[in-house]
């Protein structure tokens, strides 16, 4: 479930925060409490000009095991590749 307005104003190209909330498997409604957050942090001016790096802050659920933490770290990488990488610029026709 994506709520771009939860942690800041969504503006598209990396200058605002966007969050992806982690819910229990049997929950996930707007009024249910979330267990953790995957938060994409805004880039600094230096990062914006000199690197292509993105920064994510993953808040794990309190009872998460090492396997679950590894899975959520992989989900953060997947979210980055799906939502924030521009694959069309790499394709030459």
For 7-61, the pLDDT digits (tens) are: 544 454 545 677 888 888 887 666 778 888 888 887 777 777 787 777 888 999 8
Distances from the Cα of 77 to the Cαs of 10, 29, 92, in angstroms? 20, 24, 25
Identify the pLDDT of residue 30: 67
CB-neighbour burial class of residue 33 (10 A; exposed 0-12, middle 13-18, buried 19+): exposed
* pLDDT per position as a tens digit, 61-73: 888 999 999 999 9
pTM to 2 decimal places = 0.66
């Amino acid at each position: 479930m994506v709520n771009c307005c939860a942690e800041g104003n969504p503006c598209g190209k990396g200058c605002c925060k966007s969050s992806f909330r982690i819910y229990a498997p049997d929950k996930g409604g707007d009024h249910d409490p979330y267990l953790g957050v995957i938060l994409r942090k805004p880039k600094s001016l230096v990062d914006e000009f000199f690197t292509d790096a993105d920064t994510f802050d993953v808040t794990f659920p309190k009872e998460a095991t090492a396997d679950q933490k590894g899975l959520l770290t992989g989900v953060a990488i997947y979210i980055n590749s799906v939502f924030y990488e521009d694959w069309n610029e790499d394709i030459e026709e």
